[in-house]
Amino acid sequence: MIQNKFIISYFVIFLGLAHSTAQNKTSSNAIPASDRQQQIDQYWADRAAVQSHQTIPFAPLTLTYIRPASVWEEALPLGNGQIGAMVFGGVADERIQFNESTLWAGNTQNPNNPKGKTALPIIQNLIFEGKNKEAIELADSTLMGKPMHIKPYQSLGELWLDMPHLHVENYKRSLDLKTAVQQTSYQHKGVNYSRQYFISAPANTMVIHYTASKKKSLDLNFTWKRAQDFSCISDPKDPSQLILQGQIGQAETKQEKGLRFAAIAKVYLKGGQFSNKNGKIMITDADEITILVTAATNYPGLKHISYPAQQSNIDPLSTCRNTLKPFKNVDYPLLKRQHIQDYQHYFNRVNLSLDDPDQPNRSGISTDALISLTKEHQKIPSELITKFFQFGRYLLISSSRPGHMPANLQGMWAWQMDPPWNADFHTNINLQMNYWPAELANLSELHQPLFDLTTALIPFGERTAHTLYGAKGWVVHHLTDAWGYTAPADGVQGIWPMGSAWLAQHPWEHYTFTGDRQFLKEKAYPIMKGAANFIMDFMVKIPKNKPFANYWITNPSHSPENSFKLPNGEISSFTYGVTMDSQIIRDLLINCIEASTVLQVDETFRQQCQETLQKLIPTQISAKTGRIMEWIEDYEETEVNHRHTSHLFGLHPGSQISIANTPDLAEAAKKTLLSRGDHGTGWSLAWKINMWNRLHDGEHSYQLLYNLISDKTLPNLFDNHPPFQIDGNFGATAAIAEMLLQSQVRDKNNNYLIELLPALSKNMPSGSIEGLKARGGITVNIHWNNGSLQKAQLLPNRTGPLCISYAGKQIEIMGTQGKAVIITPQLFQNNN
């Protein structure tokens, strides 16, 4: 959002104005776009004149650039799940923007409108009678949350570092995805300078390390900055420490005070000297500089949020001091080794290698230039596909660690006080998409923060379910935050009570990949059962004068963020029984039935789920268009190319539509995707790639991946909605993996069908993938050449039958726990 008031300083220009187009709100006081961009460019411009003549070596897993970042979207992200940073790689002017994953404005509250329960049956009758406008007006006044909006996730602040190097040569900056280490290097007056940055999970600190090839060559000043609500002081207890501290809302007399926060930057020198005065550290004549940075808030943790809110006794500054206390001296090589070992524990599980002999050697080409080459040649360099896939895994490792917050709309990287859409947890696609690669891409533990958030939402969602709908179980609507907001928000489009049912898919998926029965019993099943109880209590039967009379449907209901034309020409989004709702509910109830059967519990509940399933509206095909119907009636669409493709939930991430089991629906889904088109927002393209994968159309999948990378990818490989939203990165990572391996379909014996190379494009003719996961607890390695399978290796974590598919043929082999099974094309020929 563009701020309503402006203080003319570079700092406020940065935080209040930069990339205002990334916002979904406007202001009448906006500075003209051309002047605003000039100010932004002036702010971010490094004072140093940079010459880049250095040859860039070929590095398939390194993001490399030949100039500093000039805007936030060019900076390189680092993170350990709690602390995040964006490093610009400036020379004379380096700016490191920090986030702490719990720094959310607001607090727990009870936003549920007490009028909801009484008004609900009236709203439902109005919708059944076709009086949509009246229903919307009543819903707006009785069902919407009070307040109707949540407070945002905020930037922690920036570390400003200045060096007197105004003319440099052989500049390069890079992010090594294999080690999660960012490096900037250059020459100044014949001296080689190197800067390395990483955020260590074991130490819970960011490590900044400056070196030079000549002694006494490092002079550096730095300070903390933030747009509001902060102070920067020299630590009176330790002259090597510079403190940022504050409290959200402290500058506003009328604003409710929020979380307290703190960060400490601690200096270690080899050679030279420093002073720490008036909130600024000045270093001269150093041989080597190491700065450790840590941060904390007094957020109580997901397990401890409650309403009414409890006073937190956490002292963020003490937390930071305690984190740094063990580091009386700094052993930089040891810190780096421990960081890399921890990071590679996750990253090294999967290796993707693509070989395209038709593509020239990419040595000497920066990452942003590779994106430009994609547009120029209308083909994605194989190296870039590999980078993009592994970058998504890197981002999940960096933003979603067990014990910390889940990845939000921007992962954990947001520079504003009021970022786009509050950088919230959007539950009508975006939050779920963040975790699509977690199981498949062998990062199962990183799914845990999502389950922690979901569990924390249950008591808040139970209150909303009871107050608004008079229903059992728990509900969340289209968004939530760190404080358990579960009421409808933002507008009547927020009256979408399906968020809990969709979230409940994720713990079940975790079970299907891992086979962890204890997790199923203790974590997954309570989430799933509570969501199903709400849905079955909330649904109503269709009246006798309507199609599908006596079938169970949701009311009110809408297909997320889309609208349609009523027969009288009125535009509406409110209706009953939209296709997506029925598909999500079917998915949830089927999973609940299987979970209760596995656990041998809740026979009565299981029977209720089975009976409800029999009266759910089936997915319909339009007689007029041959496409999947988005609504219960075949309304005229107002936006054929709408970014959401909600009515294909049953194709992806669900499994109700497949070529193998429902060919008619699969063909109708294909027509739907063709109608929606091959363009859209970044995350929308990622979703559609996954859908084309499920239809085994590798060429269409590749085309949309090309569109995503060439048109919706920023220079640092962040996904561009626009603005930046991280879900497109995660969705695309899952999509690249599902081009090569799928396992969502069941065979005739109800075993998961392991599909090898189901959507391989001719543009990815040869390569290998090692370490992917299939449902049923199976690790899969695949090698292919000239578009054909060479061999696959399956390593099951339990003994039982393995059903494998390749090129339309199936085989079944008995797998033994811990024993590799080798699959070759000949096995399929011999069995068919």
**Residue 515 backbone phi and psi in degrees, to 5:** 70, 20
State the Cα angle at 733 between 526 and 455, rounded to 5°: 15
Q: What is the pLDDT of residue 139?
A: 97
What is the spatial distance between Cα 738 and Cα 691, in angstroms, rounded to a whole number?
10
Q: Which of 651, 677, 703 finishes a domain?
A: 677
Q: Considering the domain boundaries, does residue 719 fall inside one?
A: no
Task: For residue 220, give both structure tokens.
Answer: 């550096």
Q: What is the pLDDT of residue 361?
A: 63
CA torsion 725-730-731-732 (nearest 10°) is: 100
Residue 392: which of 85, 654, 177, 179 has the closest Cα?
177
Do 331 and 424 reside in the same domain of the chain?
Answer: no
Preceding peptide of 147 cis, ω within 30°? yes
Task: For residue 625, give both structure tokens.
Answer: 């268009």
Residue whose pair of structure tokens reads 């250059």 in the numeric block: 186
Do 232 and 286 reside in the same domain of the chain?
Answer: yes
What is the spatial distance between Cα 222 and Cα 206, in angstroms, rounded to a whole number?
15
The residue count for the chain = 832
Do 157 and 144 reside in the same domain of the chain?
Answer: no
Partners of 355 in the beta sheet?
766
Q: Considering the domain boundaries, does residue 497 fall inside one?
A: yes
What is the spatial distance between Cα 607 and Cα 663, in angstroms, rounded to a whole number?
29
What is the spatial distance between Cα 388 and Cα 709, in angstroms, rounded to a whole number?
9
Residue whose pair of structure tokens reads 């923007």 in the numeric block: 97
Do 412 and 331 reside in the same domain of the chain?
Answer: no
Residues 481 and 424 sit within 8 Å (Cβ to Cβ): yes
Q: What is the pLDDT of residue 311?
A: 85
Task: For residue 347, give both structure tokens.
Answer: 């990253």
Do 36 and 91 reside in the same domain of the chain?
Answer: no
Residue 672: which of 618, 634, 617, 710 has the closest Cα?
634
Residues of the chain with pLDDT under 70: 1-44, 53-54, 253-255, 358-363, 832
Q: β-strand 260-270 against 778-785: which pairing, if any?
A: unpaired
Do 77 and 186 reside in the same domain of the chain?
Answer: yes
Do 180 and 58 reside in the same domain of the chain?
Answer: yes
Task: For residue 168, give both structure tokens.
Answer: 């440099």
Percent of the chain predicted with pLDDT > 90: 87
Residue 568: give its domain's CATH number: 1.50.10.10
Do 323 and 436 reside in the same domain of the chain?
Answer: no
Whole-prediction pTM value? 0.94
What is the spatial distance between Cα 454 and Cα 506, in angstroms, rounded to a whole number?
10
Task: For residue 389, give both structure tokens.
Answer: 């896939």
Burial class from Cβ neighbours inside 10 Å (0-12, 13-18, 19+) for residue 748 reads exposed
Preceding peptide of 556 cis, ω within 30°? yes
Q: Considering the domain boundaries, does residue 667 fall inside one?
A: yes
Residue whose pair of structure tokens reads 């496409």 in the numeric block: 627
Q: Which of 677, 694, 719 finishes a domain?
A: 677
Q: What is the pLDDT of residue 254?
A: 67
Contacts of 724 (CB under 8 A, 6+ apart): 22, 73, 410, 420, 714, 718
Task: For residue 317, give both structure tokens.
Answer: 């500054």
Residue 724: which of 406, 388, 480, 413 has the closest Cα?
413
Q: How many CB atoms lie within 10 A of CB 17?
A: 19
Q: β-strand 753-756 against 766-774: which pairing, if any?
A: unpaired
DSSP state of 420: G
Task: For residue 366, give both structure tokens.
Answer: 């920066």
Q: What b/e sequence results for 768-807 when a residue is b if at least 16 CB atoms lie within 10 Å of its CB, and e otherwise?
A: bbbebbbbbbbbbbbebeeeebebbebbbeeeeebbbbbe
State the Cα angle at 531 between 591 and 119, rounded to 5°: 140
Q: Considering the domain boundaries, does residue 422 fall inside one?
A: yes
Q: Which of 677, 708, 739 finishes a domain?
A: 677
Q: What is the pLDDT of residue 10?
A: 31
Q: Considering the domain boundaries, does residue 560 fall inside one?
A: yes
Do 418 and 512 reside in the same domain of the chain?
Answer: yes
Residues 203 and 325 sit within 8 Å (Cβ to Cβ): no
Do 66 and 17 reside in the same domain of the chain?
Answer: no
Residue 166: give its domain's CATH number: 2.70.98.50
Q: Considering the domain boundaries, does residue 352 fall inside one?
A: no
Q: How many CB atoms lie within 10 A of CB 519?
A: 16
Q: Considering the domain boundaries, does residue 221 fall inside one?
A: yes
Distances from the Cα of 107 to the Cαs of 145, 147, 204, 570, in angstroms? 15, 12, 25, 39
Q: What is the pLDDT of residue 187?
A: 96
What is the spatial distance between Cα 144 and Cα 349, in angstroms, rounded to a whole number?
45
Do 134 and 77 reside in the same domain of the chain?
Answer: no
State the Cα angle at 75 between 186 and 709, rounded to 5°: 115
Q: What is the pLDDT of residue 363?
A: 67
What is the spatial distance between Cα 393 and Cα 397, in angstroms, rounded to a whole number?
6
Q: Considering the domain boundaries, does residue 53 fall inside one?
A: yes
Domain span at residue 817? 756-830
Give the count of domains, the chain. Answer: 4
Q: What is the separation, in whole angstroms, between the first and last Cα of the chain?
A: 61
Do 333 and 412 reside in the same domain of the chain?
Answer: no
DSSP state of 531: H
Q: How many CB atoms lie within 10 A of CB 332?
A: 16
